[in-house]
Amino acid sequence: MNTLLLQKMIAYDKGDAQRIHHFLKVYEFASLLAQMEQLPKQTQHILETAAILHDIGIHLSEKKYNSSAGKYQEIEGPAPAREMLTSLHYDETVIDRVCYLIAHHHTYINVDGIDYQLLIEADFLVNAYEDALSAKSISAARERIFKTKSGISILETVYGKIE
């Protein structure tokens, strides 16, 4: 089912190669982390779906607020995500959880589930590279954001052992 969602999301971001590459990388890291953490199939499906759609609100945020800031993405993302998932006949419980994750994917407190935690970690793994974060910033994020053994392992493998 996510094959159609991937195609729809690529079409949604048509002409914006940077954003398409971003969500594809987050999706791949999320999928990898889910497998490493041995998530149940339904939880992995929710995580992967949220990873594909996590930044769907960015174009609306730029248009409405002249900003791509995370807080605006969290506000603007759930509605188009719900519309897209509904059009593809996703289960309502999946849609509700995915929209919740989109509405919180830049909020690093009160993380309420492994799907939420892994979405944050996967997004950071990509953002750290795309934003060329310093070793100091990555180290701070490791302490503040990363909680799973899998996420920490991948972070340290990609960016080196962080002190």
Q: Count CB neighbours of 141 within 10 A.
A: 21
Burial grade of 69 (CB within 10 A; 0-12, 13-18, 19 or more): middle
Contact 97, 46 (CB under 8 A): yes
pLDDT tens digits for 63-120?
A: 999 998 989 999 999 999 999 999 999 999 999 999 999 999 999 999 999 999 999 9
Res 2: pLDDT: 87
Res 163: pLDDT: 63
Res 160: pLDDT: 86
Q: What is the CATH number of domain 2-132?
A: 1.10.3210.10
pLDDT tens digits for 14-73?
A: 999 999 999 999 999 999 999 999 999 999 999 999 999 999 999 999 999 999 898 999
Q: Is the dihedral of CA 27, 108, 34, 134 positive or negative?
A: positive
Q: Where are the domains of the chain?
A: 2-132
Contact 52, 45 (CB under 8 A): no
Contact 154, 33 (CB under 8 A): yes
